[in-house]
Amino acid sequence: MNINGNRREFGMVLGALAATAMGVPGDTQAKAQAPDMVSREHDLSVRVKALPLIKPHALGSGAVVGLIAPGGVVDDAIIEKSVRNLESVGFAVKLGKNIRAAHGGYAGSVAQRLADLHDMFLDNEVKAIWTARGGSGCTALLPHVRYPLIRAHPKILVGYSDITALHLALYRKAGLVTFHGPAWSTFSDYSVSQMMAVLMSPRPETEINMSVENSRKAIAQSEFALRTLRHGIAEGRLIGGNLSVMSALIGTPFAAPIRNSLLFLEDVSEPPYRIDRMLTQLQQSVGELGQPDGLRLAAGVMLGVFSKVRARDGDASLTLGEVIDEQLGNLPIPTVYGYSFGHVAHQITLPIGVRARLNTAEQTLTLLEPAVRA
């Protein structure tokens, strides 16, 4: 929304309120010309209720799907493998116009990456959108995403890692259910079958057993071992993603709403001291009203497989297990480690914002509502 700086102050307040109600920030020029409006807008924004949740349509067989790269740069090998794999299960693929662009390590400029994102949501032929990879760079897009446009054209969006930033922003600012799930350049039969069940078949409940797929690897690789730090049953809306991205968003309008959520976290290639620091940051985070919003206020915490987490040779360091014990062992809520999501071949698809139940005794996660609409 553009607000003319020559309008009366009353008009500027109405404009700020309208933008806040739609989940988007007011015009920066108007704020610069009326700095007292900024604090007033903030006071009003914290009283605006969250947008009603909106779910995308279920994906049909043979649908046209879009492939974009909103974060890290992708090469032809990743694109070709993704297209080949998508076509192998019957989908037709439409590539983003700028998918081969490069700007340093990013897949084009912010404007190019935004254009592909918006174009795919506006394209009536495209029924779902997959991200070719994560990488980095998605956080730069968030202030410029056209959230009302996306809410008006809801579609399936799937990705993980750096795509966490888009998932959380679209949940908070557009009220859209998106999907933390695998990229098509690397996947397993288990990942595809579980993903398609969530995206193509709306069901009142979907139960996922979390103790099967990584059990053989756990014998040789400790990071795959299931661990329950506190038993129990927890229900809440699924919120989460990559730990590094989530910690980077704290203090922004796009931060994960932790309170009462069923929180899921994963990361890769981070030394234990950085995992420790990021979990500390989440523990100490505050919400919009300045009230504590740390991990102990979640309904439950699920950690995926934190792969390739090692201290550098010669460095004195806690182990990953010790970090998890110290950070999460005393949480008064159900807490588990080693579930099948993260930077691993066998990963489930988690719909952001959907109500779910964690049962640590049965090692199950149950989606308590359909993630898509018929």
141 and 113 Cβ atoms separated by less than 8 Å? yes
Q: What are the residues whose beta carbons fall under 8 Å from the beta carbon of 14, sequence distance 6 or more?
A: none
SS3 372: coil
Active site residue 213: no
- Answer whether 66's CB lies under 8 Å from 96's CB: yes
Catalytic, 235? Answer: no
Identify which of 176, 186, 169, 193 has the alpha carbon closest to the alpha carbon of residue 241: 169
Helical (H) or strand (E) element with 49: none
Contact assessment for residue 258 and residue 298, using Cβ atoms and an 8 Å cutoff: yes
The single-letter DSSP state of residue 93 is: E
CA distances to 19, 20, 319 from 43, rounded to whole Å, are 14, 11, 43
Decide: 366 and 356 in contact? Cβ < 8 Å: yes
Active-site residue identified among 45, 161, 244, 340: 161
Q: Distance between CA atoms of 236 and 320, rounded to whole angstroms? A: 27
Catalytic residue among 266, 270, 285, 346: 266
Q: Helix axis angle, 272-283 relative to 320-328, nearest 10°? A: 10
Q: How many CB atoms lie within 10 A of CB 296?
A: 15
Which tokens in the block code for residue 130?
């997959």
343 flagged as catalytic: yes
Place of tokens 């201290």: 311
Set 167, 180, 343, 346: catalytic member: 343
Active site residues: 161, 266, 343
